[in-house]
Structure 1
Amino acid sequence: MAYKLKDITIRTNNSDEGIKMIDELWGDIVSGKLPLLFDSEHILQKDASPISKYSNYSSDERGDYDLTIMNVTPDFFEKMEMKVRTGLYKKYDERDEDGKIDVCAKKAWEKVWSEQKLGDIKRAFSEDYEITVPSEYAKDGNAHCYLYISVQ
């Protein structure tokens, strides 16, 4: 009998060691070692849209937090866009023309941290979401990173 995971959560932080843990987790998911995108028999799940959820912050981006990688349905994005329109979240959209996911994700997070430092946003540190789209799946051939940051 094949099985698949609904989500996977680790406790981590933004230290070099924490980032290494995140990279290893994603590697295990993409390879099928952890059956989130693939089931336990290594069959790719139809319409799998994996995203990262950051929650349970101990303080701010310098402290520990829970990282949950989960699959969502298309209505998730519609709901998030509604939360942006009502002011509960701020959306960030960065891309990298060379197709490097890590580069566009870094650009997106640096923009958040810069705006936070300047006082342009006040983060709620409740639940934040990150969606990365590799260039081979994007219509424009660029890597994309979308962040939904909870604000006060």
Structure 2
Amino acid sequence: MAYTLQEVTIRTNNSEEGTKKIGEIWRDITSGKLPIIFDTAHTFQQGVSPVSKYSNYSSDESGDYDLTIMAVTVDFFQKMETAVSKGLYKKYDETDENGEIGVCTRKAWEKVWLEQKSGNIKRSFAEDYESTVPSEYTKDGKSHCYLYIAIQ
């Protein structure tokens, strides 16, 4: 019998070691070792997208937090767009022309941190979400990173 996980959580931070742990969990998910987007029989789960949830912050982006990789469907993104329209979240959408997921992700987070530092946003550090889409799954051939940052 094949099964899938709905989510998996680790406690980490933005240190070099923490970033390494994040990379390891993503490798386990994309390889199917952790059955989030593939089931245990290595069958891709149609209609499911992996999304990172950042929560349980000990302080701010410099402290520890929980990283949960969740299996979501299109209704998750519809709910997030509603939260953005209500002013509960701010959405960031960054791309990379060369298809490098890491580049567009870094660009998105750097924009958040710059806006935070300049006082343009005030983060609540409640629950933030990140969805990255590799270039082979996009119509424009670019990698995309979508961030939903909880604001006050």
TM-score class normalised by the smaller sequence: over 0.9
Instruction: Give the secondary structure class of the aligned counterpart of 1:105.
Output: helix
CA distance in 1, matches of 2:110, 2:138: 22
Q: Number of aligned pairs?
A: 152
Distance in 2 (CA, whole Å) between partners of 1:6 and 1:49 is 11
Distance 2:84 2:149 in 1: 9
Structure 1 residue 46 displacement after superposition: 1.4
Letter in 2 for 1:17: E
Unaligned 5+ residue runs, structure 1?
A: none
Counterpart residue number, 1:79: 79
Per the TM alignment, residue 57 of structure 1 is displaced from its structure 2 partner at its CA by 0.3
Matched, 1:60 2:63: no
Q: How does 1:40-51 map to 2 (within 5 A)?
A: 40-51=40-51
Q: How does 1:66-145 map to 2 (within 5 A)?
A: 66-145=66-145
| Deviation string, structure 1 residues 8-48 (Cα, Å, up to 9, x no partner) | 00000000000000000000000011111111111111112
**Which residue in the other structure is 1:34 paired with?**
34
Using structure 2 for the length normalisation, give the TM-score: 0.99
| TM-score normalised per structure 1 | 0.99
Q: Structure 1 residue 65: deviation in Å? A: 0.3
Matched AA of 2:41:
E
Q: What are the superposed Cα offsets for residues 83-141 of structure 1, whole Å, 9 maximum, x if unpaired?
A: 11110000000000000000000000000000000000000000000000000001100
Root-mean-square deviation (CA), in Å?
Answer: 0.5
Moved over 6 A (4+): none
CA distance in 2: counterparts of 1:48 and 1:104, whole angstroms: 21
Name the structure 2 match of 1:7: 7
Identity percentage of aligned residues: 70
Which AA in structure 1 matches 2:33? K
Partners of 1:108 and 1:130 lie apart in 2 by 10
Partners of 1:124 and 1:27 in 2: CA distance: 29
Residue 60 of structure 1 aligns to a residue in which SS? Answer: coil
